[in-house]
């Protein structure tokens, strides 16, 4: 999508603090972090939301989570724990309509969520 900010970041049109990149995903630091470690894991291919996923996307979505596991180890938060969040739709808190996984760690998470 030509007007998607995450697509522009992935293409390199907008600078970002890249943490990781491979042929399927790009991971960047969130510009408004909600935790000491707040990384967004983005599929390189545009998908609007979870509601737009197809069965063909299962491997890609799994790769988002295995990338999160790898980033947790690199950030030194794997043993202490971290939170993974994927917002879907406006009521779910999604503000950028390019599916992405929030990776938050480095401090105890608060409850309740919502």
Where residue 94 falls (left for φ over 0; alpha for ψ -120 to 50; beta otherwise) is beta
CB 27 within 8 A of CB 71: yes
CA distances from 54 to 47, 50, 51, 61 (A): 10, 9, 9, 10
Reduced to 3 states (helix: H, G, I; strand: E, B; else coil), residue 43 is strand
Residue 33 tokens read as 């972090």
- Rounded CA separation 37/33 (Å): 7
Q: Is 38 designated active site?
A: no
Catalytically annotated residue among 46, 63, 98, 100: 100
Q: Which residues are catalytic?
A: 100
């Amino acid at each position: 999508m030509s007007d998607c900010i995450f697509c522009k970041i992935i293409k390199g049109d907008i600078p970002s603090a890249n943490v990781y990149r491979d042929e399927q995903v790009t991971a960047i630091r969130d510009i408004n972090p909600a935790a000491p470690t707040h990384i967004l894991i983005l599929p390189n291919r545009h998908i609007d939301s979870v509601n737009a996923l197809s069965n063909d996307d299962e491997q890609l979505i799994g790769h988002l989570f295995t990338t999160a596991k790898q980033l947790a180890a690199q950030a030194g938060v794997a043993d202490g724990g971290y939170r993974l969040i994927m917002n879907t739709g406006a009521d779910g808190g999604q503000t950028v309509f390019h599916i992405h996984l929030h990776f938050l760690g480095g401090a105890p998470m608060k409850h309740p969520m919502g």
